[in-house]
Homo-oligomer: A and B are copies of this chain.
């Protein structure tokens, strides 16, 4: 598959005068392909095409839609090493990670294909007519969920595959029946184009309307702003920074017709390490902490950025182990020079903060864009008095807060911002303490873990990759796992419809084949 650098608008390749190039973060050299930049007109063209083909797309049988998702998976699979090489060039991520993420992306597509086939997501509800009810008869009422409309998806820098062109937002929007316009992340436009070709090929194979997918790209914020402002867009999926997410939320809320923005904006993912757990496995915990922290150069939304440990001998031992473990860590290439620069600036800010002490760091390097893993420590008072210490550092940097008593721990817990995850390392003897924290933690986080690390988000039915603001824009939703489809569906009620006019899936024959509700009760 050849990378052309063109925008892909409703199946048509479009070249523009304004172009940009991706940078290989390993060398800081520009890659050779010139990628076209979208402008307002092209964005409107893509959005309008999506809108025009929306009714057609959503009218197609959901079995065909499932087949479409499977085909995208197949075509991505066929890209093989071409994809791995391109992604590696553009992101500096290790090959193994890219292959793992490719597999995750493919499995995610197939999981959603199965979800679509299964049909529960339609949430079909029947309240049959009660013609003899007094004082008034009840009409026949049937509900199903329909797709919300064209969705704008922002490719994430840190998941060039699993959260970009055919990633979690796209697959859940397609599964719901929504057309998708993806804004490629400018760090990996070639990867984006390869995946876009896989989608377009699947559209052709399925004879689906071309308007259901477009890939736009460019540099600067304007393109994203125009996309979210566009009248044909009904919802937004975004994974990125708090600043970026909040900016999109504001634009979406100020539209003539406001639309929902599902922004996953990361968090510091507090990890509570309790005394008894630590005592028994101090070395293991320190080791697995540094592994989790340094995974993908720490460029993960679920990176463990805040560790809470009680002062004392075991804590001292833990700090010593962490120092030892991190000293062995080699640098890794970060995704792009901007991310690297921001990381360095934030680390510098930590270094300058009074009472924040360097605990240890990994090995250094003179190569470009290298993330040198680093761990700071501080006391509870310093942490509580300095809100900037609660801000995410995107990269392999963590802050260990050593508290002296449970009052401090409860105060820190109560003060936490919304988080994607909170983790407890605990033993049976720590259970009462965890129980006392759990109600507060439930209000703060989307996922709570015991004796594990938050990195490595399982794509499944029970996953919640969400959490209260500012972790996400809407704590009621998840962006990973099958429940992500809920973001792009809305219910419609059909009252007193003759059978011949009812949508197929609400007709008695079809309803009988799927899980549904009658008078509120589940019929399997």
Contact = CB atoms under 8 A, between A and B. Distances in A.
A1 interface: no
Contacts of A493: 446-448, 462-464
A62 interface: no
**A: interface residue count bin:** 35 or more
A452 B127 contact: no
B448 A495 contact: yes
A496 interface: yes
Interface stretch (A197-205, A369-377, A430-438): A430-438
A139 B458 CA distance: 9
Given A142-B462, A464-B143, A448 B494 contact: yes
B452 A517 contact: no
A404 interface: no
Given A475-B490, A490-B475, A490-B476, A141 B451 contact: no
B491 A476 contact: yes
A138 B258 CA distance: 39
A249 B431 CA distance: 42
A443 B149 contact: yes
A469 interface: yes
Interface in A79-125: 100, 114-115, 118, 120, 125
B474 A260 contact: yes
A43 interface: no
Contacts of A498: 428, 431, 450
Contacts of A406: none
Nearest to A143: B462
A473 interface: yes
B522 A462 contact: no
A519 interface: yes
By Cβ-Cβ distance, the 6 closest A-B pairs, closest first, are A461-B520, A464-B493, A125-B462, A143-B462, A141-B462, A449-B495
